[in-house]
Amino acid sequence: MAYAYLFKYIIIGDTGVGKSCLLLQFTDKRFQPVHDLTIGVEFGARMITIDGKQIKLQIWDTAGQESFRSITRSYYRGAAGALLVYDITRRDTFNHLTTWLEDARQHSNSNMVIMLIGNKSDLESRREVKKEEGEAFAREHGLIFMETSAKTASNVEEAFINTAKEIYEKIQEGVFDINNEANGIKIGPQHAATNSSLAGGQGGQQAGGGCC
């Protein structure tokens, strides 16, 4: 299907926090209580609309175990957005956020939009991390924050779409050079031609306007 932009996302965070379940809820609108382990990386894709434009999200869902970090690191490259997920019922997954963030900042491009997600908000009775703590961490590190439930689908749609909105705004502001694919943004096939001629005539910054 035709799209104006393609954004690459990466989902990271400790094992068992619900990364694959969030992805499945977002792409298939269903919840699988027992999801297969993710080894290496798996993929999902979905089309969304922002500002009347079709945007394709290409989502890389990574393995969470510490041992796989060295593999995961190489997948940050070329991501425009990252969902950093912890489990509100397991404090250790929250405690590990700092190392995840360091990893992400070090191996991705500096403009990557990071959304912090406290998942499993449906398990209120088992909560170990307060919502305020998540908010505080996000504020401190300049991240967007949301609590979600892949099970009830609460805020799942919003988490993915708000991240895209932020990326889209950055494009409008000219922060992202969309002609450089290392930024995790690709211009849709039918737009590429107009864009390149525009870019040739008026310089790269204008290229973002060529989608209609």
Sign of the dihedral defined by the CA atoms of residues 138, 129, 27, 104, in that order: positive
CA distances in angstroms from 26 to 47, 116, 126, listed in the order given: 10, 16, 24
How many angstroms from the chain centroid is the CA of residue 55? Answer: 13
Backbone angles phi, psi at 38, to 5 degrees: -100, 125
Least CB distance from residue 169 to another protein, whole Å?
25
- Judged by CB under 8 A, which stretch of 28-36, 116-124, 141-149, 196-204 contacts another protein? 28-36
Least CB distance from residue 76 to another protein, whole Å?
8
Cα–Cα distance between 212 and 209 in angstroms, integer? 8
Least CB distance from residue 91 to another protein, whole Å?
6
Least CB distance from residue 52 to another protein, whole Å?
24
CA distances in angstroms from 86 to 47, 50, 154, 182, 190, listed in the order given: 25, 27, 15, 27, 38
Is 103 a binder of another protein (CB under 8 A)? no
Is 77 a binder of another protein (CB under 8 A)? yes
Pairing outcome for strands 5-12 and 53-62: parallel
Cα–Cα distance between 152 and 189 in angstroms, integer? 35
- Judged by CB under 8 A, which stretch of 43-51, 149-157, 166-174, 198-206 contacts another protein? 43-51
* Both tokens assigned to 168: 């889209």
Q: Closer to another protein at the Cβ: 146 or 150?
A: 150
Among 2, 45, 175, 182, binds another protein (CB under 8 A): 45
- Judged by CB under 8 A, which stretch of 62-70, 108-116, 140-148, 171-179 contacts another protein? 62-70
Among 50, 53, 54, 58, binds another protein (CB under 8 A): 58
Residues engaged in binding another protein (CB under 8 A): 14-16, 34-37, 39-45, 58, 63, 65-68, 70-71, 73-75, 77, 91-92, 95-96, 107
